[in-house]
Structure 1
Amino acid sequence: MKRREPLGIDLTPIIDVVFILLIFFIVTSVFKKDELALILDLPKADAKATEVKDDQIFIELNEDKLAIKGIEVSFISLEDNLKEIKDNKKAVIVRIDKNTKYERVVKVLDLLQKYNLNNLALVTEENKN
């Protein structure tokens, strides 16, 4: 006579499915990243770090490109974007490559001043001694 083995649920396929779903959701999920579009070599400074908030405006500038909110634009498009900002108390975070010509920096600063966006912060890298 054969002995009967107790009937039970085989958990191996269920565990496999759970791991596959977990990997799927990790790979397909979009993690929030800073609104950065350009790779910049920032100047070094001894300034202390400040907290970045979601409602801030990010502008990036290098030798030949310009980006606002993570999207590359021209100076005309930048001006159109700045025109649309209603709250002039919003913080404007400007990241400027250290090799950028001063003329391009002044052009961006002039546009910010034109639309009365004076709450300005310049981003640098931490100076490690």
Structure 2
Amino acid sequence: MMRRRESLTLDMTPLVDVVFLLLIFFLVTSVFKKDELALLLNLPEGKEGGKMVKKKEAIIEMNRDSLAFNDHTVDFKKLDEELSRIEEKSLPVIVRIDKKVEYEQIIKLFDLLKKHGLNNLALVEKAAQ
């Protein structure tokens, strides 16, 4: 009597399970892109979380040596020109200020914002962990 050979096939079911598990693992462990800052800032910490502004906004960042407006390094004169171009005075202005910036510089910035009627300010803090 002759033996019949059975053909061997690879069972794909466990392979599909492994692929889906790897996909889920990489999605869960991936780090999503955070807001990119134009300047390296050491923000003060806050105890309560803030609201995120979802509509168009102007972003001002300040450290001891530099000032940035919408990801471009500027000086106070150039910032004055940029702020004068803003037509919508209710535009949210996101302000990130390093905690080591001198008080006089902060007042100078707020005076510029007041001069141009931009009063919708949001001061950004480092999120408490």
Cα gap change, 1:86 to 1:33, in 2 (>3 Å): farther
| Alignment pair present for 1:61 and 2:62 | yes
Alignment of 1:11-50 (within 5 A): 34=35, 36-50=37-51
User: Residue type of the partner of 2:122?
Assistant: A
Alignment root-mean-square deviation, CA: 1.6
Distance 1:113 1:35 in 2: 26
Match of 2:21 in 1: none
Distance 1:54 1:62 in 2: 25
- Alpha-carbon displacement from aligned partner over 1:72-112 (angstroms, at most 9, x marks no partner): 00100000000000000000000000111011111100000
Distance 2:79 2:35 in 1: 18
Using the TM superposition, give the Cα deviation of residue 54 of structure 1 relative to its aligned residue in structure 2, in angstroms: 4.8
8 Å Cα contact 1:35-1:69 kept in structure 2: no
Q: Which has the larger radius of gyration?
A: 2
| Length, aligned pairs only | 97
8 Å Cα contact 1:46-1:127 kept in structure 2: yes
TM-score by length of 1: 0.70
Distance 1:93 1:127 in 2: 19
Using the TM superposition, give the Cα deviation of residue 52 of structure 1 relative to its aligned residue in structure 2, in angstroms: 3.1
Distance 1:43 1:77 in 2: 27
Using the TM superposition, give the Cα deviation of residue 51 of structure 1 relative to its aligned residue in structure 2, in angstroms: 1.4
Using the TM superposition, give the Cα deviation of residue 35 of structure 1 relative to its aligned residue in structure 2, in angstroms: 5.8
Cα gap change, 1:35 to 1:89, in 2 (>3 Å): farther
Distance 2:34 2:127 in 1: 20
Alignment of 1:1-129 (within 5 A): 34=35, 36-128=37-129
Distance 1:120 1:46 in 2: 19
TM-score by length of 2: 0.70
- Runs of at least 5 residues in structure 1 that lack an aligned partner in the other structure: 1-31
User: Residue type of the partner of 1:83?
Assistant: S
Give structure 1 regions of 4+ aligned residues with deviation exceeding 4 angstroms. Answer: none
- Runs of at least 5 residues in structure 2 that lack an aligned partner in the other structure: 1-32
